[in-house]
Amino acid sequence: MCGIVGYVGPRDCSDVLVSALTKLEYRGYDSAGIAVFENGKIEVAKSKGRLTDLVAKMEREGKPVGHAGIGHTRWATHGEPSDINSHPHSGRRVTIVHNGIIENYKDIKKFLIENDRTEFLSDTDTEVVAQLLDFYYDGNPVRCIRKVLHEIRGSFALGIVFADRPETVYAVRCESPLIVGQGHGEAFIASDVPAIIKYTKNYFLLEYGEIAVLKNGLASFCDLHGRMVEKELKTADFDEDSAEKGGYPHFMLKEIHEQPTAVKTTITPRIEGGLPNLTECGITPEALREFNNIFIVACGTAMHAGMVGKYVIEKLARVSVTVDIASEFRYRDPLIQKNDLVIIISQSGETADSKAVLNLVKGTGAKTLAIVNVKGSSIAREADMVIYTHAGPEIAVASTKAYMVQLSVIYLLAFEMAYAKGTIDEEECQKLTLELVRVPEVIQQTIDRIENVCRYVSTKLITADSLLYIGRGLDYALSMEGSLKLKEISYIHSESYAAGELKHGTISLITEGMPVIAVATQNSLFEKTLSNIKEVKARGAMAIVICDLKSEIDLDSANYIIRIPKISEMLMPMVATVPMQLLAYYTSVNKGNDVDKPRNLAKSVTVE
Ligand code: M6R
């Protein structure tokens, strides 16, 4: 959460910082600020609200003009969103921006107060670090940062400027992600590569405890002990267009439309001779044969992809799969054994709770497999094996294409595991793989066919206070994601329910006109789900049904029917996801909400 940036170079620093922060707003957007060296002096501009509020303020009051500085977009943790709590925060000679949390900030504040440092203006943990840096500052910035690193605890990344070191930016990373961009005669820091892609594709990945110094347009590095470090320069595998809306009104809609390509790019290199081949990711059939139990651990949407994984892996490979929310799993003392496999799914690869699971598994003898979208992210680097999804940057807070590619990888893994374990034969494995290869085309047909239908049906949802998503089997797993998508961006209360469970309590919630969205794509369960649809409709619900083109259902049983192309039952989640995404998207648009930046949320949850 929170995005930090920094710049040293010939361009107008304020403009670069604002432009880079625009690309990081998905990480938090309740306030923003910058600090720039102007004529050798640090000038700060900050404001509560969106980045546009900061820009408007700088237009009114003037922007700092210079060539080196730091910037921040905030997702509040310590202290409400306000001008005072906005970053940057300053000590007497030090100004910083901060992403993450400082766990022992109260102890440090007490220590500072006991040592006559009492000038605290904000409620933030960040200001305490600024003051501590100032307290120890003896004219040697790197030594001072190293000293402070030994005293603060938590997960954080910092951008720092010292008043007596003009035109120089310092940065340090402990857990929270930070990259250092290197252009021609200019250098950057950023929480994520898309922030600087407009200026350079070349970047260094800062490791835990490393300090970067940006001076004279060049970046240099040292470790926690002050030793110089030579780092490998990486090149981003996407360009500026991927991080732009490309003519779409919102990133979310663009990302929904990118799904056919994203799935194709993810699965194609992992299929050989019509069969899945994950050896390039460190996964061999021999290893897959050995696993006794599987745990899939993740948060939010990624966890919902895991729910689909449970149904598919258990059905095909006959291995027991437990799906858990990372924030629960890490504290419930799970029974992990030597021959188990723990799969961590994460778009960002930086989610704090999911990351913590890797530490938990260490020493148990179990293996960890990460399914991750962001290259070089912490989870990807720390897991024993990694399958990268190739969705490209996902900017909208509401995840769409990342979920879709997570599903595609889970299918490949399930097919390969089932074949390795002998629960399906080569012919069956080839048949399933071939069907998966067709999926991108079917997703495209689905978008083309139903986008307008979903736009229309969404107009029926906007006045609802509450709704239910129901389904059975894979449709139930899928409805969890449909429900999350809808609630996070439309702000309509929504729950997903196993359709067969309604009669055990929840059906009492049904009142006249309450929307119930039934996902009914599993032919083997269709009749049963249809009974549940009739039951809710008979009690006044507005029944909206997502089913395939051939399903036998008419408008006596449902108020609205969204028909999608049919593929094999097992793969239907990848098609049925599309109407759920579009319903959420258009409901949010019709309500006038900020689709890409829903209230209170941030894309990357790097704090617990
Ligand atoms: O980056 P991750 O996949 O680990 O993020 C996990 C969740 O925070 C995330 O999936 C979240 O639920 C979605 N943005 C919701 O659309």
Q: Residue 220's pLDDT is what?
A: 97
Catalytic residues: 2, 603
Do 587 and 490 meet the contact criterion of CB atoms below 8 Å apart?
Answer: yes
Q: Is residue 422 part of a domain?
A: yes
Domain co-membership, 408 together with 469: no
Q: Calculate the CA 588 to chain-centre distance.
A: 19
Structure confidence at residue 237 as a pLDDT band (50, 70, 90): confident
How close is the Cα of 301 to the center of ligand 1, in Å? 5
Ligand 1 nearest-atom number relative to CA 604: 1
Domain co-membership, 457 together with 414: no
Check whether 367 has a pLDDT greater than 80. yes
Determine whether 472 is exposed, middle or buried from the number of CB atoms within 10 Å of its CB (0-12, 13-18, 19+).
buried
Q: Is residue 570 part of a domain?
A: yes
Domain co-membership, 485 together with 438: no
Structure confidence at residue 287 as a pLDDT band (50, 70, 90): very high
Report pLDDT digits (tens) over 257-285: 999 999 999 999 999 999 999 999 999 99
Q: Where are the beta strands (DSSP E) in 499-597?
A: 515-519, 542-548, 560-564
Crossing angle (nearest 10°) for helices 300-317 and 401-421: 20
How close is the Cα of 604 to the center of ligand 1, in Å? 7
Check whether 218 has a pLDDT greater than 80. yes
Question: Which residue of 1, 347, 410, 577 sits with most ligand 1 atoms within 8 Å of its CB, as the best mutation to test the pocket?
Answer: 347
Q: Is residue 595 part of a domain?
A: no
Domain co-membership, 191 together with 174: yes
Q: Which residues contact 565 (CB under 8 A, 6 or more apart)?
A: 442, 445, 446, 449, 548, 549, 575
Domain co-membership, 9 together with 134: yes
We report the CATH number of the domain holding residue 313 as 3.40.50.10490
Check whether 7 has a pLDDT greater than 90. yes
Ligand 1 nearest-atom number relative to CA 348: 1
Q: Is residue 608 part of a domain?
A: no
Residue whose CA lies nearest to ligand 1 atom number 12 = 300
Question: Which residue of 410, 490, 605 sits with most ligand 1 atoms within 8 Å of its CB, as the best mutation to test the pocket?
Answer: 605
Choose one of 220, 245, 270: the last residue of a domain: 245
Short-list 153, 185, 151, 149, CA closest to 170: 149
Domain co-membership, 472 together with 343: no
How close is the Cα of 597 to the center of ligand 1, in Å? 13
Q: Is residue 601 part of a domain?
A: no
Higher pLDDT, 187 or 375: 187
**Ligand 1 proximal residues by C-beta, below 6 Å:** 299-302, 346-348, 351, 354, 397-399, 488, 604-605
Q: Residue 578's pLDDT is what?
A: 98
Least confident of 98-102, 130-134, 244-248, 548-552: 244-248
Tell me the mean pLDDT in the region 206-233. 95
How close is the Cα of 351 to the center of ligand 1, in Å? 8
Report how far apart, in Å, the C-alpha atoms of 537 and of each of 467, 475, 540 are. Answer: 13, 19, 5
Ligand 1 nearest-atom number relative to CA 601: 14
Q: Is residue 450 part of a domain?
A: yes
Report the run of H or E that residue 143 belongs to, with start and end: helix 141-149
What sign does the CA torsion over 53, 28, 389, 400 have? Answer: negative
We report the CATH number of the domain holding residue 151 as 3.60.20.10
Ligand 1 nearest-atom number relative to CA 299: 6
How close is the Cα of 400 to the center of ligand 1, in Å? 10
- One-letter amino acid for residue 154 of the chain: G
Check whether 77 has a pLDDT greater than 90. no
CA dihedral 463, 465, 470, 475 (to 10 degrees): 70
Domain limits for position 238: 3-245
Q: Residue 245's pLDDT is what?
A: 86
Domain co-membership, 519 together with 562: yes
Our CA angle for 97, 99, 102, nearest 5°, is 100
Report how far apart, in Å, the C-alpha atoms of 246 and of each of 111, 121, 253, 589 are. Answer: 51, 42, 10, 18
Report how far apart, in Å, the C-alpha atoms of 111 and of each of 120, 129, 135, 390 are. Answer: 13, 12, 11, 47
How close is the Cα of 441 to the center of ligand 1, in Å? 26
Q: How far apart are CA 566 and CA 526, in angstroms?
A: 14
Q: Which residues contact 267 (CB under 8 A, 6 or more apart)?
A: 408, 409, 412, 436, 437
Residue whose CA lies nearest to ligand 1 atom number 8 = 300
Check whether 243 has a pLDDT greater than 90. no
How close is the Cα of 403 to the center of ligand 1, in Å? 9
How close is the Cα of 220 to the center of ligand 1, in Å? 33
Three-state SS for 99-122 is EEEECCHHHHHHHHHHCCCCCCCC
**% pLDDT > 90, the chain:** 87
* Strand partners for 212: 171, 221
Structure confidence at residue 246 as a pLDDT band (50, 70, 90): confident
Tell me the mean pLDDT in the region 221-238. 93
Residue whose CA lies nearest to ligand 1 atom number 11 = 300
Q: How far apart are CA 134 and CA 148, in angstroms?
A: 10
Q: Residue 242's pLDDT is what?
A: 77
Do 502 and 470 meet the contact criterion of CB atoms below 8 Å apart?
Answer: yes
Tell me the mean pLDDT in the region 290-309. 97
Q: How many CB atoms lie within 10 A of CB 142?
A: 13
Domain co-membership, 528 together with 390: no
22: left (phi over 0), alpha (psi -120 to 50) or beta: alpha
Ligand 1 nearest-atom number relative to CA 347: 3
Question: Which residue of 350, 351, 373, 580 sits with most ligand 1 atoms within 8 Å of its CB, as the best mutation to test the pocket?
Answer: 351
Check whether 201 has a pLDDT greater than 90. yes
Choose one of 196, 217, 245: the last residue of a domain: 245
Q: How far apart are CA 453 and CA 462, in angstroms?
A: 15
Asked, as a colleague might, if the bond just before 64 is cis with ω within 30 of 0, I would say no
Question: Which residue of 299, 343, 483, 604 sits with most ligand 1 atoms within 8 Å of its CB, as the best mutation to test the pocket?
Answer: 299
Domain count, the chain: 3
Choose one of 443, 472, 502: the last residue of a domain: 443
Q: How far apart are CA 395 and CA 603, in angstroms?
A: 8
How close is the Cα of 48 to the center of ligand 1, in Å? 25
What sign does the CA torsion over 58, 63, 64, 69 have? Answer: positive
Q: Residue 554's pLDDT is what?
A: 84
Tell me the mean pLDDT in the region 376-403. 94
Report the side by side order of strands in the sheet with 385-388.
320-325, 293-298, 341-346, 367-372, 385-388
Domain co-membership, 439 together with 450: no
Three-state SS for 306-352 is HHHHHHHHHHHHCCEEEEEEHHHHCCCCCCCCCCCEEEEEECCCCCH
Q: Three-state DSSP class for 354?
A: helix
Q: Which residues contact 370 (CB under 8 A, 6 or more apart)?
A: 343, 344, 345, 346, 349, 379, 380, 382, 383, 385, 386, 387
Our CA angle for 384, 385, 388, nearest 5°, is 140
Residue whose CA lies nearest to ligand 1 atom number 16 = 398
Strand-strand pairing, 515-519 and 466-471: parallel
- One-letter amino acid for residue 168 of the chain: T
Structure confidence at residue 304 as a pLDDT band (50, 70, 90): very high
Ramachandran angles phi, psi of 543, nearest 5°:
-90, 125
Q: Is residue 323 part of a domain?
A: yes
Tell me the mean pLDDT in the region 185-210. 95
Ligand 1 nearest-atom number relative to CA 301: 10
Q: Residue 288's pLDDT is what?
A: 94
Q: Residue 25's pLDDT is what?
A: 85
Domain co-membership, 18 together with 31: yes
Ligand 1 nearest-atom number relative to CA 485: 16
Q: Residue 239's pLDDT is what?
A: 80
Tell me the mean pLDDT in the region 202-228. 95
Residue whose CA lies nearest to ligand 1 atom number 10 = 301
Report pLDDT digits (tens) over 78-90: 888 898 999 999 9
Report pLDDT digits (tens) over 325-339: 999 999 999 999 999
Tell me the mean pLDDT in the region 494-514. 94
Domain co-membership, 366 together with 480: no
Report pLDDT digits (tens) over 509-541: 999 999 999 999 999 999 999 999 999 999 999
Check whether 562 has a pLDDT greater than 90. yes
Q: What is the DSSP string of 372-434?
A: ESSTT-HHHHHSSEEEE-------SSS-SHHHHHHHHHHHHHHHHHHHHHTSS-HHHHHHHHH
Report pLDDT digits (tens) over 126-165: 999 999 999 999 999 999 999 999 999 998 999 999 999 9
Domain co-membership, 439 together with 460: no
Q: Which two tokens stand for residue 419?
A: 């074949």
Q: Is residue 597 part of a domain?
A: no
